[in-house]
Amino acid sequence: MSAGIARVGVVGGGQMGAGIAEVCARAGLDTVVCEVDAIAARTARDRFSASLDRAVRRGKLERAAAQDVLARTVFTGSLEDLADRQLVVEAVIENPDAKTEVFAALDKIVEDPAAVLATNTSSLPIMRLGMATRHADRVVGLHFFNPVPVLPLVEVVTSLHTSAATTALVEDFATRTLGKTVIRSRDRAGFVVNALLIPYVLSAVRMAESGFATAIDIDAGMEFGCAHPMGPLKLADLIGLDTVASIAEALYDEFREPLYAPPPLLQRMVEARLLGRKTGRGFHRYDQD
């Protein structure tokens, strides 16, 4: 394991948080997932268990191994249970105030003076989160991609304060312990992937909004005409339209370029809670489990 990191915490047990916890636990790490309360923690455990069951059904994981992974993962409703962690990854809602509050709390709770606090933010400045702590040199962006157990990429994002030792530690952890591919980014909104991806997705939303083409035809055009595995509107539904809008707003706030501005249709869909796969309806409809 990477530089002795054996105890990992994840704050947030949603789709991303549960996925991050899964890859950590499957790598043999002692993993604790923290949610807002005990009820949410049980929901996170169910989400985590369902993902392991899917891996077993698809032949990606043995049943006994899945049981071991579940057994070594603790789900809690108290941040205090992260006190002994060597690495904590924040994966709460993409909201600067919520994330800043988590980092300020973790700074007081986590006891190891060498512990790293990482954020899975897809767009927000790492510096802002680091400055909510007393140790901005140990704060770093560790941005995974959905679904975390499947997609191999992690973006490592450093602020002006992130130390070289912290950067080396998380890169080694992501590559050697988790088996991920790492790319590096400076601390700018959207980092590498979303700075390229979000304008493409927003362009597809504008095309649908204008009536130029249907969502089905837009996605089919990119899937069958450009060999993309998933069309841009299906991808937006997978990411979550609320998350797409949040990333777009962060990009627009920083750069003020029109291509980053969230289109009115996207904003109306978020207001209507038509968020994509997780709500059963976005640009397409989905069967709910």
Q: Which of 94, 155, 171, 185 is catalytic?
A: 155
Q: Which of 2, 159, 185, 194 is catalytic?
A: 194
Question: Using CA atoms, how far apart are residues 39 and 19, in angstroms rounded to an integer?
Answer: 19
Q: Which of 22, 35, 49, 143 is catalytic?
A: 143
155 is catalytic: yes
Least Cα distance to 77 among 14, 18, 32, 35 occurs for 35
Q: 92 φ, ψ to 5°?
A: -90, -175
194 is catalytic: yes
Using only C-alpha atoms, the chain has a radius of gyration, in whole angstroms, of: 19
**Are residues 52 and 28 in contact, defined by beta-carbon separation less than 8 angstroms?**
no
Q: 203 φ, ψ to 5°?
A: -60, -40
**For the chain, first and last CA: distance in Å?**
36
Q: Which of 2, 51, 120, 122 is catalytic?
A: 122
143 is catalytic: yes
Residues annotated as catalytic are 122, 143, 155, 194
